[in-house]
Amino acid sequence: MQEVRLHGRGGQGAVTSAELIATAAINKGKFAQAFPSFGPERRGAPVVAFSRVDEKKINIRAKVYSPDIVIVLDPGLLSLLDPTDGMKADGILVLNTKKDPDEIRDKYGYKCKIITIDANKIALKELGRLIVNTTMLGAFLKATDALTLEDIETPLMDRFGAKLGGKNMIALRRAYEEAIIKE
Sequence-distant (6+) residues with CB within 8 A of 69 are: 2, 3, 4, 5, 91, 92, 93, 94, 140, 143, 144
> Tell me, what's the pLDDT at 44?
73
Number of domains in the chain: 1
Supply the CATH number for residue 36's domain. Answer: 3.40.920.10
Give the pLDDT mean for 148-165: 95
List residues bridging with 53 in a β-sheet: 2, 32
Range of the domain at 152: 2-182
Q: What is the pLDDT of residue 45?
A: 80
Q: What is the pLDDT of residue 128?
A: 93
- SS3 track for the chain: CEEEEEEEECCCCHHHHHHHHHHHHHHCCCEEEEEEECCCCCCCCEEEEEEEEECCCCCCCCCCCCCCEEEECCHHHHHCCCCCCCCCCCCEEEEECCCCHHHHHHHHCCCCEEEEECHHHHHHHHHCCCCCHHHHHHHHHHHCCCCCHHHHHHHHHHHHHHHHHHHHHHHHHHHHHHCEEEC
pLDDT band at 10 (very low <50, low <70, confident <90, very high): confident
Chain segment 69-92, per-residue pLDDT in tens: 999 999 999 999 999 999 999 999
**127-141: pLDDT as tens digits:** 999 899 999 999 999
pTM of the model: 0.94
Question: 40-73 pLDDT, tens per residue?
Answer: 556 778 889 999 999 999 999 899 999 999 999 9
Percent of the chain with pLDDT over 90: 83
pLDDT in the model for residue 145: 83
Burial of 79 (0-12, 13-18, 19+ CB in 10 A): exposed
